[in-house]
Amino acid sequence: MSRQGGQGPLVSVVTPTWQRHDTLFGRCLPSVLAQTYPHVEHIVVSDGPDDSLHAALSTHARPGLRYVELREHDDTARWGHWARLAGIELAKGEIIAYLDDDNSWRPWHLQSLVDALTANPGAGFAYPMTLMHVFGREYEIGTDPPAYGQVDTSGIVHRRGLLDVATWQPSLPSIDWDLVQRWMRAGVKWAFVPRVSVDYFK
């Protein structure tokens, strides 16, 4: 897990989760812990009460890791939407990143994307290439400029103020591309890192 107090802006990592303890502990949490970027907080939000997860995370307590639960699980919105928004509300960082509970990052993920934003002060968001592990197949996504099917939620890193331009919507078929597209339509610039740093699993 990250160490707060390092060089550079604080990055808030938001992970919505719901009863996928195996991938959360096997992929997600270890990959945030392994990040080379030193100034991170990780906010894990359960999409409803989960006593066993609360107990398990209590034994994994470390600086920068916070766990909260929604009061009830709501199946009416797209999975993870309300948990993601709750995590954003709690985030303290100048930069916000997302990692779904069944995906993982390579160790250089946050460092490379923060570097890309730092090198491009006019850019509001950054994203890398992603290796897709889908039903036994592997292939890469990630194009510049951004395009449908080429940007995944777990790869998006953005400046906090960008959520005042457009934020997550609950019920659209491609919520990550919808958000990026609305940013682009508003004239927001981006930075692309042409290197795989996200592993997406389905």
In this prediction, residue 120 carries a pLDDT of 95
Whether 65 shows a pLDDT value over 80: the answer reads yes
Radius of gyration of the chain (CA): 16
Does the pLDDT of residue 95 top 90, yes or no? yes
C-beta of residue 65 within 8 angstroms of C-beta of residue 44: yes
**Which domains are present in the chain?**
11-201 (3.90.550.10)
Q: Which residue has the tokens 């951004």?
A: 146
Output the pTM of the full model.
0.93
Per-residue pLDDT of 107-145, as tens digits, reads 999 999 999 999 999 999 999 999 999 999 999 999 999
